[in-house]
Structure 1
Amino acid sequence: MAGRRRGKAARGRRARQLSWGGAAALLLAVVFWASVWPYVLGVVAVGVVAAITWRLWRTDRLLRGGDRLWRQEEAVQAGRRTLTQVDAMTGTEFEELVAGLCRRDGCTEVRRVGGAGDNGADVLGRLPDGRTMVVQCKRYAPSRAIPNRELRDLLGARVHFRADVAVFVTTSRFTRPSEKFALEHGILAVHRDLLGLWNNGASLKSLGEVNGRGQGDARHRVRWKKAYGG
């Protein structure tokens, strides 16, 4: 009988000890949380803000990329005039067309300067790589050919404006000697065929990679004369 009473008393003491231990643990947890919860909430808040910021940044990049692509496609479409339409332009309109194509391809500080006292330049600007350029534009009838003299004038303009690159753009073609002259003096000679490619989306940089080509052989020149005369 006495043993049962002692066992019951021992169990009671253990129950009270567990109760006190649990209460103490709960009290410590409450005290700990009270001191830590601002930091926990701060970390959570920073994480949420970071996630929202990243999502907004990514959305902005996607939208900007899509808008840039759309604008580039619009610029190409706007520039896709037929060469017949280009032939009907005034000299000033043709210069504006060339300036617009330069801007489309990433050239900066592009401005039309053609007119009286233009010192041999119609368009000035900078290539995407930062080099300065001077452009001469000649909207001639397709039957005409560009002689050396006009290319020499462009060389003078390159020296006058201290430009790194000289570009000659025409709606006609270059004579064999003038084409050779352009290659020897580092002039980008954009004849009618290359102008058609440029007008339809090819970049100015890509034209430099085929400089001196595209006017064809003797048979091509015969077809040219049949089509345009001269």
Structure 2
Amino acid sequence: MTIPGAGERSGRQPPFSLRHLALCFGLIAAVVCGAGLTVRAMAAEAADRPVGALLTGTALFVAAAAVLRRRHRLMRAVAASAPTVAAPCPMPADDPVPAYESMSPDEFEEAVAELCRRDGCSEVEVTGGAGDLGADVVATAPDGRRVVIQCKRYSPDHKVGSQDLQRFGGTCFAVHGAHTATVVTTSDFTQPGAEYAAQCGIGCFGAEELAAWTAGTGPSPWDAQR
């Protein structure tokens, strides 16, 4: 950044001065009072010396014009040097519930992991991918329980069925050592799938439960299984 030297002008206007403004208005008041006294004197003199009264009036007009020009220049300088108050930036609106359906499967897993962190889980890991054996997110709940979550980013017309639940049920407890196991989906569950999950103690978080968890108006998966 170039810093202007001693002989250069930085382009900044002189600072606003209340003293100059007060002097300006005081001068105007003095002129007005003097004009009043002069008019009275002129009225008295006009009867005796009309030519002298005319010359005095002309001089008064010229002086008043000069004062008005000075006032106009001072007011322009004050306006230019007054700090500009920027309009307040509108506060951003609260973020809406994320459009999970538009996310990729990996993004959805990361979003669920972030919800776990937000609600106090520690040791949160995204483990989804080839060879994950059904566990996409693992974490430790605030009360110490091991949380295992499988994420299903499905379209609304693609429900999680019993086969999905059976594959997850075969590994979530025996392999991953879950204390609470939940399938979280952007869709819903078929009736056979929900019945199997209930028999095995697996939580089912459909779109409605997920939206409530995200908004903070509903329980987390581990709290829902207390």
| TM-score, normalised relative to structure 2 | 0.54
Pick closer, same or farther for the CA change 1:150–1:200 going to 2, 3 Å: same
Which residue number in structure 2 is paired with residue 156 of structure 1?
Answer: 170
Pick closer, same or farther for the CA change 1:146–1:207 going to 2, 3 Å: farther
- Contact 2:141 2:222 (8 Å CA) reproduced: no
Match of 2:132 among 103, 115, 118: 118
Which residue number in structure 1 is paired with residue 110 of structure 2?
Answer: 96
In 1: Cα distance, 2:219 partner to 2:179 partner: 18
Pair 1:191-2:206 in alignment: yes
- Contact 1:147 1:175 (8 Å CA) reproduced: yes
In 2: Cα distance, 1:165 partner to 1:206 partner: 6
In 1: Cα distance, 2:223 partner to 2:206 partner: 10
In 2: Cα distance, 1:193 partner to 1:207 partner: 16
Pick closer, same or farther for the CA change 1:206–1:107 going to 2, 3 Å: closer
Aligned residue identity for 1:108:
S
Which residue number in structure 2 is paired with residue 141 of structure 1?
Answer: 155
**RMSD of aligned Cα (Å):** 2.0
Q: 1:182-211, CA deviations, whole angstroms, 9 ceiling, x for partnerless residues?
A: 1111111000111111111133068616x9
After the TM superposition, which parts of structure 1 deviate over 3 Å for at least 4 consecutive aligned residues?
Answer: none
- Contact 1:194 1:207 (8 Å CA) reproduced: no
Secondary structure at the counterpart of residue 152 of structure 1: helix
Q: 1:126-162, CA deviations, whole angstroms, 9 ceiling, x for partnerless residues?
A: 1111111211000000111111111111112211111
Matches within 5 A, 1:1-230: 80-82=96-98, 85-158=99-172, 159-201=174-216, 202-204=218-220, 208=224
Aligned residue identity for 2:102:
A
Task: Mark the runs of 5 or more structure 1 residues left unpaired by the alignment.
Answer: 1-76, 212-230
Task: Mark the runs of 5 or more structure 2 residues left unpaired by the alignment.
Answer: 1-93
In 2: Cα distance, 1:135 partner to 1:199 partner: 15
- Contact 1:190 1:207 (8 Å CA) reproduced: no
Secondary structure at the counterpart of residue 204 of structure 2: strand
- Contact 2:182 2:205 (8 Å CA) reproduced: yes
More helix per residue: 1
Whichever of the two has the greater Rg, that structure is 2
- Contact 2:152 2:184 (8 Å CA) reproduced: yes
Pick closer, same or farther for the CA change 1:191–1:183 going to 2, 3 Å: same
Aligned residue identity for 1:113:
T
Q: Identity over the aligned pairs, expressed in percent?
A: 40
Q: 1:98-143, CA deviations, whole angstroms, 9 ceiling, x for partnerless residues?
A: 0011111111111100011111110011111111121100000011
In 1: Cα distance, 2:109 partner to 2:214 partner: 13
Q: Which has the higher contact order (CA 8 A, sep 6+)?
A: 1
